[in-house]
A = this chain, B = another copy of it.
Amino acid sequence: MALSPKFDILAIGNAIVDVTAPVAEAFLSRHDMRKGAMALVDAATAETLYAAMPPAGESSGGSAANTAAVAALLGSRVAYLGRVADDQLGRVFRHDIAAVGVHFPTPPLAGGAPTARCLILVTPDAQRTMNTFLGACVSFGPDDVDPALVADSAVTYLEGYLFDPPAAQEAFRKAAAAAHAAGRQVALTLSDAFCVHRHRAAFRDLVANHIDILFANEAEVTALYETNTLAEAVTHARRDVALAAITMSENGSMVIQGGETALIRAEPTSVVDTTGAGDAYAAGFLAAHTRGLSLQQAGRLGSIAAAEVISHYGARPMRDLSKEMASL
């Protein structure tokens, strides 16, 4: 049996600053965007698109980084690995994650691409459509994964978006191997249905052979298993992973573990911007899970955290969450 770990969660992902603006539906069609999806864009496209965007707000983002920040706000001990550049937006990212007490040892990239940014268009229905310029993230690789840190973390949490930058897949596998060698768990979020399409074979292999806890929404899990129904996909997931949490937007979430299924209702809130909803859900879930709480409690804390971040613009909480754990 492994020693008690120093961290509850080690999150690994693309370190990104979000650039968020409200837009009309017409903006998406004018720019050929798939609503609700994340598209990768190069530097030139990012510049062109930014020039066309309305006034925006900048805030730290990145899927796994959002999860790390929310979990830390819920009282978990959290570390994060991801690559920013040595520039103003990189310092914003570092400040924001350090300010909630997340250990962030990855050094910034000097003299290369700038800090990644995600141009997020929020339509009046609160849906977000994302365009990511990966920038400095493409230099994140296996050398950035310290096996000792992985071994010292109860759960290593990986974002599916990390399949996009070329060197990160290897980092992914290195982290999963180090976690299991130390008797720890590995969690994965599928991130985005189109990301799953881009890397389906690699995802299927990873989920079947290296993942203990799977996070996905309906579109992502059916894309992974190429099924028509959620029920079929859940059957596959039940076989592949020890524990899975499937989010279903306003319909709540479904947590499966072996033959057991827990259904958790969504927390009612006024929805402004859904950016970060899944990230916050995973944070609440893992914060409760790593404290040994029940599936129902874990799902409930996920719902509460998600409700907070979708009630305003930006993917991270704007209020104190320290009392939420105690309220379960």
Contacts and interface: CB of A to CB of B under 8 A. Distances in A.
A100 B114 CA distance: 26
A314 B88 contact: no
Interface stretch (A49-57, A105-113, A199-207, A225-233): A49-57
A95 B51 contact: yes
A99 interface: yes
Interface in A52-90: 53-60, 69, 87-89
A147 to B, nearest CB: 29
Contact of A58 (B54, B92, B312): B92
Contacts of A89: 88
Interface residues of A, number: 28
Contact of A114 (B88, B92, B97, B114): B88
A120 to B, nearest CB: 13
A318 interface: yes
A55 B313 contact: no
A316 interface: yes
A278 interface: no
Interface string A275-318: 00000000000000000000000000000000000001110101
A291 to B, nearest CB: 23
B55 A60 contact: yes
Contact of A100 (B55, B59, B97): B55
Contacts of A54: 99-100
A288 B174 CA distance: 63
Contacts of A22: 318-319
Contact of A53 (B87, B88, B99): B99
The residue in A58, A89, A314, A319 that gathers the most chain B C-beta atoms within 10 A of its C-beta is A58
Interface in A122-172: none
B56 A96 contact: yes
Nearest to A319: B22
Candidate in A22, A88, A97 with the most chain B CB atoms within 10 angstroms: A88
Contacts of A96: 55-56
A42 B318 CA distance: 27
B312 A50 contact: no
Given A50-B95, A55-B96, 18 more contacts: A22-B319, A54-B99, A54-B100, A55-B59, A55-B60, A55-B69, A55-B97, A55-B100, A56-B92, A56-B95, A56-B99, A57-B58, A57-B59, A58-B59, A58-B92, A312-B312, A313-B313, A313-B318
12 contacts: A22-B319, A54-B99, A55-B60, A55-B69, A55-B96, A55-B316, A57-B314, A58-B59, A58-B92, A87-B88, A88-B88, A312-B313
